[in-house]
Structure 1
């Protein structure tokens, strides 16, 4: 039942070239000029990069005098978000502990099993369950064919998640979930940032899903995370999408009125959050 749902979602999103075993679309949607090529018949790659607390989360913890969770030796997992959303037991593609310096490396990642995107999440005391998009088939319609290097994974402290939930408002979250959830984690959520080509946050941007029935679920936190409105991004470029608290869902997110931003794949479900950066062009800013 789950695998047909995965394939159907790929077709509905127009990504069937990236879902079949014979796709040959050029790679990759991320900078890989220093990476080694891989065996195309096997389609196993390496993924390496760094993990850190989301900068806004670190700022909030420091402002409130709260301790920062340790990431050293925490397990980092690579997975397919849509498969996570439907509780597919084969959603995980690799795991590695985070090094003392915050870096990680995972080899032999079977990207032939990837359908929409590849995400990485770290689990440790004091963190909410969240996964950062490190590769999205939306850029090319294909799976990665070279190692992914210098990827960035953001960890979300519980205290930051709680602050975001308060900013959006328990009543608002309950309204979007038919009173099934009072926090973003229980509802399921997307936390994103809109940046320009230099990687700087874009204020005043508006993010739109490709389905009209979801448009009212996007909120923009204030700089102090005390409130969240729906007019547009603040100085940090952040936005939050509130899921229904019910079944898994997939859709596309895009930036309204700004050129060069590719619509991005999103998979969301109750119990965790998806973290992504919306940037212009095919390659993430340095």
Structure 2
């Protein structure tokens, strides 16, 4: 059997054409009259990724409940990257860099489309925060790389205080067990923080997240709204879930919602020292 790390490398470096689409197409979009349009050369196309960065909503509420101020992101560096390639130390996984304005906005131009295999993320790394990547584009929806600018993207920042609360919710004992004693915190192990929402963007309670790899199924946790504990049953009123990584080599898999076809399976992965943040929503357009 191939080791998970080898499988990950094969998946990223040898994707089927259906996942990434052709490199050059005169009429890339179905059901569209392209007789007067120019061909789209995906090998040289660049796009702009723009949007807004904020402290994760539950993190902001937790800080405010404790009487602590919500940290500003003004001037924080932001990187556009392929998070699953970062996990295998691919030197070409970073596509562009920028910074966050005082109002939270960001815009990173000249992002080369050619380098995108599975997904695209906005990554934050700054003192006082967990190094985190928020998925802003997933090829699962289009079966191809992006061909237009990505606008109104959201990048979420995870303060260390919030990370500590999530670690407490899961429990050091379970983190050590999942990592074979390599890690005692979610940051050290590597983790995914996800939210399940409905078509209007409201959190969904009672959702159960499943993986396409049965050997990792017991790593999903659902934190309580007060972050004092967690279960492995289903999402609470916050719609949040956590995946606890092993603290070892990167893993890749897909996530889906049990019992419904409205939510497409999503590409995901985990690597030590960082968090992946994603939102699961019905259909193909984010609410």
State the superposition RMSD in angstroms.
Answer: 2.1
Deviation of 1:8 (Å): 1.9
The SS at the match of 1:93 is strand
The SS at the match of 1:128 is coil
* CA distance in structure 2 between the partners assigned to 1:140 and 1:270 by the alignment: 29
- Aligned pair count reads 272
RCO higher in 1 or 2 (8 Å CA, sep ≥ 6)?
A: 1
Distance 1:20 1:39, change over 3 A: closer
CA contact (8 A) 1:16 1:141 kept: no
Deviation of 1:26 (Å): 5.4
CA contact (8 A) 2:23 2:43 kept: no
CA contact (8 A) 1:15 1:141 kept: no
Structure 2-normalised TM-score? 0.89
Give the alignment partner of residue 58 of structure 1, picking from 45, 57, 60: 60
Give the alignment partner of residue 100 of structure 1, picking from 75, 92, 102: 102
The SS at the match of 2:158 is strand
Structure 1-normalised TM-score? 0.90
* CA distance in structure 2 between the partners assigned to 1:272 and 1:7 by the alignment: 19
- The 5 A counterparts of 1:121-200 are 121-200=123-202
Q: Deviations over 1:140-199 (max 9, x none)?
A: 221100000001111000000010001100000000000000011110100000000111
What is the aligned partner in structure 2 of residue 34 from structure 1? Answer: none
Give the alignment partner of residue 260 of structure 1, picking from 254, 262, 272: 262
The SS at the match of 2:64 is helix
Deviation of 1:84 (Å): 0.8
The SS at the match of 1:271 is coil
What 5-or-longer segments of structure 2 have no aligned partner? 1-5, 30-38
Larger Rg, first or second structure (1 or 2): 2
Deviating runs (4+, > 3 A) in structure 1?
A: 4-7, 18-21, 23-27, 37-41
* CA distance in structure 2 between the partners assigned to 1:41 and 1:271 by the alignment: 32
What 5-or-longer segments of structure 1 have no aligned partner? 28-36
CA contact (8 A) 2:21 2:143 kept: no
What is the aligned partner in structure 2 of residue 238 from structure 1? Answer: 240
